[in-house]
Amino acid sequence: MIPAVRIAALLAAALLAGCRAEPASNAAEAPAAARTSPAGLDLVALAIDSGGRRHAFTVEVARTAEQQEHGLMERRSLAPDAGMLFPFDPPRPASFWMRNTLIPLDMLFVRPDGTIARVAADAVPMSETPIAVEEPMTAVLELRGGRAAELGIHAGDRVSWSD
């Protein structure tokens, strides 16, 4: 016969063995958290090199035709370090308008070499007048209206992003 004290000790040991702490998770094994905007678009780091300075932004990427068609429509604000990137593959001439866009935007048309071909500053909200560039563009970047002027960004400056 096993004494009651011995039984209690065995039960306690069994309970403690079942409650032991799990080893710390390996962060490298965990999937990386996707960086997405509230609108469900990918977020990427983007930089504009202008006049010896680098300006950093975090931008949403409108990849699909549907995302590009909707763009920043119906947004009521845009942070100074935010924007939206419309990449084109292959590069093509680009034409944008401001239908259903509530805030003024700067549109930066980016060539395949990363240089800015045109800055269309302070595009008028709700306008259906096309804003275009005829040469092939690799992307168009939209920033809060007036931001390019605030930072001294001009045609010829260079845009780069991680994607």
Closest by CA position to 127, among listed 147, 105, 154: 105
User: Which one is predicted more confidently, 91 or 33?
Assistant: 91
Please report whether residue 20 resides in a domain: no
Residue 23 has pLDDT above 60, yes or no: no
**What is d(CA 62, CA 69) in angstroms, rounded to the nearest whole number?**
9
Note whether 75 and 144 are within 8 A (CB): no
**What is d(CA 95, CA 113) in angstroms, rounded to the nearest whole number?**
19
Split into its structural domains, the chain has a count of: 1
Q: Say what the pLDDT of residue 163 is.
A: 78
81-107 pLDDT per residue, tens: 999 999 999 999 999 999 999 999 999
Q: Say what the pLDDT of residue 8 is.
A: 39
Which residues neighbour 107 within 8 Å (Cβ) at sequence distance 6 or greater? 96, 118, 119, 120, 123, 131, 140, 141, 142
Please report whether residue 31 resides in a domain: yes
Please report whether residue 104 resides in a domain: yes
Please report whether residue 137 resides in a domain: yes
Please report whether residue 153 resides in a domain: yes
The whole domain housing 134 covers 25-161
The CATH number of whichever domain residue 59 belongs to comes to: 2.60.120.1140
Please report whether residue 60 resides in a domain: yes
Residue 126 has pLDDT above 80, yes or no: yes
Residue 12 has pLDDT above 50, yes or no: no
Token reading at 114: 């990363």
Please report whether residue 17 resides in a domain: no
Please report whether residue 114 resides in a domain: yes
Q: Rg for the chain (alpha carbons), in Å?
A: 26
Residue 73 has pLDDT above 80, yes or no: yes
